[in-house]
Structure 1
């Protein structure tokens, strides 16, 4: 229960799904948690759950596509707790409007780039700066997708954004190693979140990908454990790594 004792972790999109599961897992392991979430009710509910477990948590209403919001979330973390150790850029997602590149609406492409890629870029921009200012290193965890690692149908906007996150992760791992900051990513397959469960009913691409997952749909808690490893000191020699939690999809 002490794998993150004394550390402060900021989690974007921590109000639900993988973000909430990770927040609860990190708190269970001793971390102080800041939930940066657009949905106020969801974010405050996660904070309440952490406090019920005896943990310390703060909610900061945050739209990750807005630079001022992300900077405020990081600044609020440092002001409240005096340190900044972990940022988990979890916020993101896809929709049924996505399609192959010749068919996808322009607005869907820019929406995915802004939410998934730019939101992650902003988290890294301000989160890494806070780690450099503190001078004690830290862990950056980005959320890409298994769709960024395989060929698939009908998700060209989403895969473009998530593929860019994978490349950005590797580049930043090299760039910031001199500050003892490691940068890694998790790449989940189809995971049992409310958003994905809804997509499975509406989106043929997501449902087909699930067919290739040898252990079926993934529990959000299993992604949280992968993120926990990357957040903890156990991964001090791991950087630039994309950790797949895909139920064997990439080998099936």
Structure 2
């Protein structure tokens, strides 16, 4: 269950704290909506799929681990929900096209897209490796492939398929959204994982860049930035996947159009959820540069 107690009423400069008991306040709007989630076999993606289904959404699961994807789908259907799944490597363009087409074929439309698939840093950036001839070897960049390229692929297709209904192009209907999954690492400059941090910094930049254009087309964009989400227990400092899923539901279901373009920060499981309004991204140390660049682009 999402914690019902109110979070503290104070926040960082420019941020807006959101009480935990408001996260699911408008979740009834999700009934009948089609939600496509990549990487939904475990962790945040799995819990998000389950929570959306609990409120009547139809779930489309894409995951490179087909066994885990099926387990998530089974959890949803055994509780009376609707879910389909398909093997999907987000770095493979055709896999994603097939996943979207599956959603259209089965449910007739796509309403919400969560490009959740991602990998942690698996290499050590600071260790330069050499081949047998003493030449520096190319670094391992799987994180860039999955966390950035995969999200770009997913979002690029989303802007089309969110406008498709039963195979036909149509005007965008209410409650259309792309929810990007970022990280606390860009806010904190997490030195142990520079490649991962760079990809998540890019996701925040992607949301900010595409937000104004997609918003004009009726598609909401937000970026959720949790710290290390704990999968196993709710008795930890890090935010649980249930809490992260609750914030995702909030950003999709809340009727206020001003939500689009905002960031949502979850530092830990007990602290407040902070909304960072899109206007506040221009404050602080970047304000002077932003004003200068905006002037030059006029």
Interval containing the TM-score (normalised by the shorter chain): 0.7 to 0.9
TM-score normalised by structure 2 residue count: 0.72
Q: State which structure, 1 or 2, has the greater radius of gyration over its C-alpha atoms.
A: 2
Q: 1:153 is paired with a residue of what secondary structure?
A: coil
- Is 1:131 aligned to 2:131, yes or no? no
Q: 2:30 is paired with a residue of what secondary structure?
A: coil
Deviation at 1:11? 0.5
CA contact (8 A) 1:98 1:156 kept: no
Structure 1 residue corresponding to 2:180, chosen from 142, 164, 167: 142
CA contact (8 A) 2:63 2:88 kept: yes
Aligned pairs for 1:219-238 within 5 A: 219-238=240-259
Match of 1:107 in 2: 139
What per-residue deviation string (whole Å, max 9, x for no partner) do you get for residues 222-250 of structure 1?
00001111221435331111211121599
Q: Aligned residues, how many?
A: 230
Choose between structure 1 and 2: higher helix proportion: 1
Aligned pairs for 1:4-153 within 5 A: 4-100=30-126, 106-108=138-140, 110-132=141-163, 133-137=169-173, 138-153=176-191
When residues 250 and 82 of structure 1 are mapped into structure 2, their CA distance, relative to the original with a 3 A threshold, is closer
TM-score normalised by structure 1 residue count: 0.84
CA contact (8 A) 2:125 2:139 kept: no
Q: 1:33 is paired with a residue of what secondary structure?
A: strand
Distance in 2, Cα, partners of 1:106 & 1:5: 48
CA contact (8 A) 1:229 1:235 kept: no
- Is 1:186 aligned to 2:224, yes or no? yes
Match of 1:171 in 2: 209
Structure 2 residue corresponding to 1:216, chosen from 237, 242, 255: 237
Distance in 2, Cα, partners of 1:43 & 1:235: 32
RMSD: 2.3
CA contact (8 A) 2:183 2:225 kept: yes
Gaps of 5+ in 1: 198-214
Deviation at 1:179? 1.1
